[in-house]
């Protein structure tokens, strides 16, 4: 059984695979666009501000599809039977867990936990995964 730690946010995912020889890290870059919906009538003298309607649903739908594509790129590196710990800032790790539970039941069975963590350097990510598996009861 491989032990895998995944630090994930909306920009990239760092996958750390623990091996007998040490840690192997692989980074998956996301191709998420950071949307800045703009609206407005274009008239600088509009008394009550912009009057146009911004269609947030289009932006949210595109974001949802891009997240799904990003998660599928991360999943390509995992195998059934892996012992997986997810961590990272915000809610991206929890979203990945939900994606695995919904569409990849064999991988979801290997998730040991999801933790919140701030931004980290590559060495900090490796150390966090190494320490997690050293102190947990995961086989």
Tell me the domains of the chain and their CATH numbers.
3-34+55-133 (3.30.420.60)
Phi, psi of 64 (to 5 degrees): -60, -45
Pairing type for strands 12-19 and 3-8 reads: antiparallel
Per residue in 61-108, pLDDT (tens digit) is 989 999 999 999 999 999 998 999 999 998 999 999 999 999 999 999
pLDDT in the model for residue 26: 96
- In DSSP terms, which residues pair with 8 in a beta bridge? 13
Query: 56-75 and 92-103 are packed helices; what angle lies between their axes, rounded to 10 degrees?
Result: 70
108 CB burial (10 A radius; 0-12, 13-18, 19+): middle
Q: Place 37 in a pLDDT band, splitting at 50, 70 and 90.
A: low
Are 80 and 106 in contact by the 8 Å Cβ rule? The answer is yes
Q: What's this model's pTM, rounded to 2 decimal places? A: 0.84
């Amino acid at each position: 059984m491989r032990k895998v730690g995944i630090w994930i946010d909306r920009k990239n995912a760092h996958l750390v695979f623990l091996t007998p020889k040490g840690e192997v890290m692989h980074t998956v870059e996301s191709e998420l666009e950071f949307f800045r919906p703009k609206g407005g009538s274009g008239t600088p003298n509009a008394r009550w501000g912009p009057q146009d309607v911004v269609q947030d649903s289009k932006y949210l739908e595109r974001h949802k599809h891009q997240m799904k594509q990003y998660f599928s790129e991360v999943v390509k590196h995992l195998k059934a039977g892996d012992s997986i710990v997810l961590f990272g800032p915000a809610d991206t790790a929890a979203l990945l867990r939900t994606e695995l539970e919904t569409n990849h039941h064999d991988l979801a069975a290997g998730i040991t936990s999801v933790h919140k963590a701030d931004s980290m350097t590559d060495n900090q990510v490796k150390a966090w995964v190494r320490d997690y598996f050293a102190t947990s009861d995961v086989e």
